[in-house]
Amino acid sequence: MLLHIHPQNPQPRQIKTAVETLQNGGVIIYPTDTIYGLGCDILQHKAIERICRIKKVEPKKAQLSFICSDLSHLSEYAKQMPTATYRLLKEYLPGPYTFILPASKMVPKILQSKKDTIGLRIPDNEIALAIIRELGRPILSASLPGDMVEDYTDPEIMQENFHREVDIVVDGGIGGTVPSTIIDCTGDEPVMTRQGLGKWEE
């Protein structure tokens, strides 16, 4: 199903449709401030497994991140962080960054890797934020399988390619082709591990 949602003023009814799909264990493709991603409710184990099947990876090895609505929401899923880390997040979020942080006990067991870390994001995208607020918890997010190609920017093409594997493709307009910048905050100093859309100077 292709669900058209206005990028600046998301229609509450359409957001509700997307959220009900997530609550029922569905998988969606949705826009962020970088690229379109695969998303599901973090509490729906079967949906997490579906995303991992689409990506052909094991849940504990998958590079999955949580999309949160704001910093207080984000801090529930990370262990208590130093003031310097919190300031860093406050400076860069919302925006095209994924921060790797030590995971709190709120992170479902199925996703806890041996490292006990989690990627956390707050995208600067009204549709993604509206879905998370309505859901009341983060969306588990993953990139689409394979290489970033032009096909992953057009919701109509994604609907054609993935309609058998996902329940909804949220059409919030043409997406980007550059993923988020990943910053690892688990050591003494933050380290960039992937240069993406977000600028970063160490």
Q: Beta strands of 42-123 (E only): which ranges?
A: 65-67, 97-102, 117-121
Distance from C-alpha of 74 to C-alpha of 65, rounded to nearest angstrom = 11
Q: Concatenated DSSP letters for 163-193?
A: TTT-SEEEE-S---S--PEEEE-SSSS-EEE
Confidence (pLDDT) at 58: 82
CATH of segment(s) 2-194: 3.90.870.10
- Indicate whether 162 pLDDT > 60: yes
Tens of pLDDT, residue by residue over 27-76, are 999 999 999 999 999 999 999 999 999 988 887 777 789 999 999 999 99
Distance from C-alpha of 163 to C-alpha of 99, rounded to nearest angstrom = 31
- Indicate whether 146 pLDDT > 80: no
Q: What is the mean pLDDT of residues 167-193?
A: 95
pTM above 0.85, yes or no: yes
pLDDT band at 148 (very low <50, low <70, confident <90, very high): low
Backbone angles phi, psi at 170, to 5 degrees: -80, 120
Q: Which tokens in the block code for residue 186?
A: 């688990």
Confidence (pLDDT) at 150: 74
- Indicate whether 145 pLDDT > 90: no
Distance from C-alpha of 139 to C-alpha of 68, rounded to nearest angstrom = 7
Tens of pLDDT, residue by residue over 83-123, are 999 999 999 999 999 999 999 988 887 776 666 889 999 99
Distance from C-alpha of 74 to C-alpha of 89, rounded to nearest angstrom = 10
Distance from C-alpha of 105 to C-alpha of 120, rounded to nearest angstrom = 15
Confidence (pLDDT) at 50: 94
Share of the chain above pLDDT 90, in %: 79
Q: Which tokens in the block code for residue 126?
A: 């009204």
- Mean of pLDDT over the chain: 92
Distance from C-alpha of 58 to C-alpha of 56, rounded to nearest angstrom = 7
Q: Would the CA dihedral through 108, 14, 71, 93 be positive or negative?
A: positive
Q: Where are the domains of the chain?
A: 2-194
